[in-house]
Each structure stands twice: as structure tokens, then as C-alpha cells.
């Protein structure tokens, strides 16, 4: 990495200091490349390490066999690299700090063109609903006239947005991976939407996973938003070390108490921020503002929860209540989230490929009528179990089609908790035709029930065993469905 003195770790708190630093960027995914480019633009001396990227400066083995860590000031790691990775373990052993791209972004924030210092962050994490919530939030902020962007785990790397002076406020989606290596971020407001077993192979335990989620509340300035139906999120707020004056605001699908946002007569209302919250609830939006987000069997509860969380964060930023309804009406959901692809012979085919864990699949199945779903599920389980999911949603199932190289965890849970439900396993041997065969089987099972059946792709698993991403999996499903010809 060249000769010369390294910068002390305690000094790496300004762009000026980082411009003189020697930085190892571990992993050249989207966030790694963004970190590399921003750091190089500052003048930092950057070494990239990746086993798969042809343009990386070194492989992991080659880097660790040299003296790169001895000269490094900091390692910026991509979110997919687990803490036990040999390079990260070596960095910790050498006393070299390890940062996420989010931590780097926080330290590189620039002042806004509009004045008032760097753009505040409104941070969103949770097992499920992050992308929907952060995109709803960005829509509400824009409806209030703010120059806002949805960034982070949702797409645009945070380091690019944090160094863009044109933005007034950032709606930041954060995964537990990103938060694990984030230490100095202090959001204006933050939410943990929910906590359920996920990524246990990466974190090691549910407690460790929850603790990393809870890091989003550290240093919060205005409001910690939590899910009143999920005790873990409230406990994380109680344990958080926040700025003086920061408040806790819960969201609920019931009538809200003081210090909450919730529902009254199909209206989203505020008793957390309103001046008269001790006696009155301020109207924010109605169910009509969310009507375009309803699924085939109505508005799913988790969609309303996401809207309430987004509203609370926007209110913490100072958005007027009337902007909430306008922003929710303007919000257009992304692909692969309970999207109806087609209806063929009275059977609806719905793509919710983004349901990559049991909690998300349970929410997806809950949106449909009892015994109406042919469930297309399976993939990479990531160490998860599915007993709670199947036990809770067996009443929705007409039949199940299992894909994936290891269908046993789902198959075993179905045998225990839904033995009456027919299950078809798709041979994983030919990955290229797996979705063709899955949709063929799903159609056969759906046709046996007839009109009013839904074929739902909500895998409850990651996609990387047979597809490059959840999006590729959803697109493969949609392509097969669109190729179906009516039998009449």
C-alpha cells in the first residue's frame, strides 16, 4: 500500500483525515465500489480485496500473505462478509478498525446546499418491511417539499447520498449486516420495524441479531419509533443510549395511546407528536390513501404498519401531517412485493419473491383467504426453521410446491403442522428449468381447486441457491406465468 506513516484510528473522523488514510475496501459489491470511488476521489490510498471481482487489487489469500494490514488505517467491509471472515479477524487482531460503508458515509457527510449542516438521517431497519417503509418515507418527505432519497440497503449506497449536497434528508434502509460494523451514526429518528429469526448463520444467535438491529437507535436525536406489537423492538428502545430529549413513539394497528401513532375508524392518526396528543388524535391519512397497495384480498396489516412507521419518522423530521396522506398516495411499490402477475382461468399468480424469510412469508400468506393458496416456497434457508410459520398459516394453504436445493426444513415443518396439505417437491437437479417445472405443478394444483385460487411465490428463503437474486427469481416466475395459455 506504499510507504509512510499511518493515520491514527482516533483521527479518522473527518473527510480531511480520511483523504490521508490508507483504506482496505473488503468486497467489491455495489457498496464496496461506491466506497472505493468516494475514497479515491478524496485522495485516500485504497486497496481493494475480493476473490471474485476481476478488478480487485488482491484476493483475500494474497492480501493476508502480505503486510497490507500492517500499513492499513481502516478496513471498510461489504455487508455480506461475516464478522468471522479471516480478513476481518486479522484486522481486529492487528488493531485495525473495521467499518461498514454506512459508518464511512456518516464520517464523510457534507453540508447541504440549503444550509444547516449535513442532511439528517431517518433510519429504518427490521426483519421485514424495510424497503416498503423507507420508500413510503421518501415519498412523504418529497410530498412535504423536501429533497429526499431512499438509500442504503434499498439501492443507492449511503456513501454516495451522504456526499451529495443537493439532498435535504436521507431515508436510510439499514440491514443488520450494515449495522454490525456501524459505531458513530446518530440518526435524527430511527425505527426497528420487527425482529424475527433471520440470518442466524451470520450472527450466530437471535440475541446477537436483535442487538445489531438495536444499534440503529444509538444516539438518536428526536425519536425512537418501535412496533407496539413486538416487545423486542420496545426493549431495544429502552436499552438505547440516545440524545437528551429523544422520545419513544410506538406504532399500533389499534387505537393509539399517548406517545403512539395508530388507527381510528380506518384513519391513520398521531398521538405521538401532535400538540394536543393528550386529548386528541391528529389525522394523518386514510385507508383510501393506501387503496392502491391492497392485495387481491384487501389491505394487508403489514402494509398499514409500514405506513404508520414511515409517518412517525416523517413527523419526527418536522413534516406537516397533511403531507403524510399525499406521500402515501404517491408511493408506488417496487417489484416482487405481492404483485399480481396475471390471472389465468380464474387463478391469480402473485409474485412476492422479496419474502425471503419466514416472517415475511407469514405476512404475505396472511393477506389471502383460507385454503385459497398454492404456495410456491423454498430456497436457501440461512439456518432458519419454519415451524412457527407453517403452524400459523396452514389454514391459508390448499397445496405447496417446494423448490430449492434443500427443501427439507420446509417439508419437515409442513409434515408436522399441515399434514393434510399436498406437497410437491421440484427436483433441483436442473436449475435452468426449476421455475418452469414449479409453475407447471402449481398450475395443476390450482386448477384442481378452480377459480378463486392464488398461486403465491413467497419463498420464505433466500434465492442464491438457484437464482442470482430475489429479483431474478421473481422475474423467472413472472416470465413463466405470462407464458401460460388459457385452457379454454
The reply to whether 3 falls in a domain is: no
* pLDDT above 70 as % of the chain: 96
Residues in contact with 189: Cβ distance below 8 Å, sequence separation at least 6, in sequence order = 122, 123, 220, 221, 222, 223, 224, 225, 312, 313, 316, 317
The reply to whether 1 falls in a domain is: no
pLDDT tens-digit series, residues 38-51:
999 999 999 999 99
The reply to whether 6 falls in a domain is: no
Annotated binding site for ATP: 126-132
Identify the domain containing residue 190 by its residue range.
105-330
Confidence grade of residue 172 (pLDDT, cut at 50, 70, 90): very high
pLDDT of residue 276: 85
Bridge partners, residue 399, by sequence: 374
pLDDT of residue 392: 94
The reply to whether 45 falls in a domain is: yes
pLDDT(155) > 90? no
Q: What is the average pLDDT across 402-415?
A: 94
Cα-based distances in Å from 487 to 25, 345, 376? 55, 7, 21
pLDDT(488) > 70? no
Question: How far apart are alpha carbons 334 and 311 in whole angstroms?
Answer: 19
pLDDT tens-digit series, residues 183-217:
999 999 999 999 986 666 666 688 899 999 999 99
Question: CATH number of the domain that 217 lies in?
Answer: 3.40.1190.10
Question: CATH number of the domain that 426 lies in?
Answer: 3.90.190.20
Answer yes or no: do 21 and 163 share one domain. Answer: no
Kindly report the average pLDDT of the chain as a whole number.
92
pLDDT(406) > 90? no
Residues in contact with 29: Cβ distance below 8 Å, sequence separation at least 6, in sequence order = 78, 79, 80
Residues in contact with 184: Cβ distance below 8 Å, sequence separation at least 6, in sequence order = 13, 103, 106, 107, 219
Count of domains forming the chain: 3
Annotated binding site: 126-132
Question: How far apart are alpha carbons 373 and 371 in whole angstroms?
Answer: 6
Boundary-marking domain end, from 43, 74, 96: 96
Q: What is the average pLDDT across 341-363?
A: 91
pLDDT tens-digit series, residues 90-138:
999 999 999 999 999 999 999 999 999 999 999 999 988 899 999 999 9
Helix (H, G, I), strand (E, B) or coil at 222: coil
Q: Per-residue DSSP letters for 148-177?
A: EEEEETTSS-HHHHHT-TT-SEEEEE--HH
Question: Which pTM value belongs to this model?
Answer: 0.78
Q: 138, 150 in Cβ contact below 8 A?
A: yes
Answer yes or no: do 79 and 111 share one domain. Answer: no
pLDDT of residue 8: 52
**Could you tell me how many helices (H) and strands (E) the chain has, helices first?**
18, 19
The reply to whether 146 falls in a domain is: yes
Amino acid at each position: 500500500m506504499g510507504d509512510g506513516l499511518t493515520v491514527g484510528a482516533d483521527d479518522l473522523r473527518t473527510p480531511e483525515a480520511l483523504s490521508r488514510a490508507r483504506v482496505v475496501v473488503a468486497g467489491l459489491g455495489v457498496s464496496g465500489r461506491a466506497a472505493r470511488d468516494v475514497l479515491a476521489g478524496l485522495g485516500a490510498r485504497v486497496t481493494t480485496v475480493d476473490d471474485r471481482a476481476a478488478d480487485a487489487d488482491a484476493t483475500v489469500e494474497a492480501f493476508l500473505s502480505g503486510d497490507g494490514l500492517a500499513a492499513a488505517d481502516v478496513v471498510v467491509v461489504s455487508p455480506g462478509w461475516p464478522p468471522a471472515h479471516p480478513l476481518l479477524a486479522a484486522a481486529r487482531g492487528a488493531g485495525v478498525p473495521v467499518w461498514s460503508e454506512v459508518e464511512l458515509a456518516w464520517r464523510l457527510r457534507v453540508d447541504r446546499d440549503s444550509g444547516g449542516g449535513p442532511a439528517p438521517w431517518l433510519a429504518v431497519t427490521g426483519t421485514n418491511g424495510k424497503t416498503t417503509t423507507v420508500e413510503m418515507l421518501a415519498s412523504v418527505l418529497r410530498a412535504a417539499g423536501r429533497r429526499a432519497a431512499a438509500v442504503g440497503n434499498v439501492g443507492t449506497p449511503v456513501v454516495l447520498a451522504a456526499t451529495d449536497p443537493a439532498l435535504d434528508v436521507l431515508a436510510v434502509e439499514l440491514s443488520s449486516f450494515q449495522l454490525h460494523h456501524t459505531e458513530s451514526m446518530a440518526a435524527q429518528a430511527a425505527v426497528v420495524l420487527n425482529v424475527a429469526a433471520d440470518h442466524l448463520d451470520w450472527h450466530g444467535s437471535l440475541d446477537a441479531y436483535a442487538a445489531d438491529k438495536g444499534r440503529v437507535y444509538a444516539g438518536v436525536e428526536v425519536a425512537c419509533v418501535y412496533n407496539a406489537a413486538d416487545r423486542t423492538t420496545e426493549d431495544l428502545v429502552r436499552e438505547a443510549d440516545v440524545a437528551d430529549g429523544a422520545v419513544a413513539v410506538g406504532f399500533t394497528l389499534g387505537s393509539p395511546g399517548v406517545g403512539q401513532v395508530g388507527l381510528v375508524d380506518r384513519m391513520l392518526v398521531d398521538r405521538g407528536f401532535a400538540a394536543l396528543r393528550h386529548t386528541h388524535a391528529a389525522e394523518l391519512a386514510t385507508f383510501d390513501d393506501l387503496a392502491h397497495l391492497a392485495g387481491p384480498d384487501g389491505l394487508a396489516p403489514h402494509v398499514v404498519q409500514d405506513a404508520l412507521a414511515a409517518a412517525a419518522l416523517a413527523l419526527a423530521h418536522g413534516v406537516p401531517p397533511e403531507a403524510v396522506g399525499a406521500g402515501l398516495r404517491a408511493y408506488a411499490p417496487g417489484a416482487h412485493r405481492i404483485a399480481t402477475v396475471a390471472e389465468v382461468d380464474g387463478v391469480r399468480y402473485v409474485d412476492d419473491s422479496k419474502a425471503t424469510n419466514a416472517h415475511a412469508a407469514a405476512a404475505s400468506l396472511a393477506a389471502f383467504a383460507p385454503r385459497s393458496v398454492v404456495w410456491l416456497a423454498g430456497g436457501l434457508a440461512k439456518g432458519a426453521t419454519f415451524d412457527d410459520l407453517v403452524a400459523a398459516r396452514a389454514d391459508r394453504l390448499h397445496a405447496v410446491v417446494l423448490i430449492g436445493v434443500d427443501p427439507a426444513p420446509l417439508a419437515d415443518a409442513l409434515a408436522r403442522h399441515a399434514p393434510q396439505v399436498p406437497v410437491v417437491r421440484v427436483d433441483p437437479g436442473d436449475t435452468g428449468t426449476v421455475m418452469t417445472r414449479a409453475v407447471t405443478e402449481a398450475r395443476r394444483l390450482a386448477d384442481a381447486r378452480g377459480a378463486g385460487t392464488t398461486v403465491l411465490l413467497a419463498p420464505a428463503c433466500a434465492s442464491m441457491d438457484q437464482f442470482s437474486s430475489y429479483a431474478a427469481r421473481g422475474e423467472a416466475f413472472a416470465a413463466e406465468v405470462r407464458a401460460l395459455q388459457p385452457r379454454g
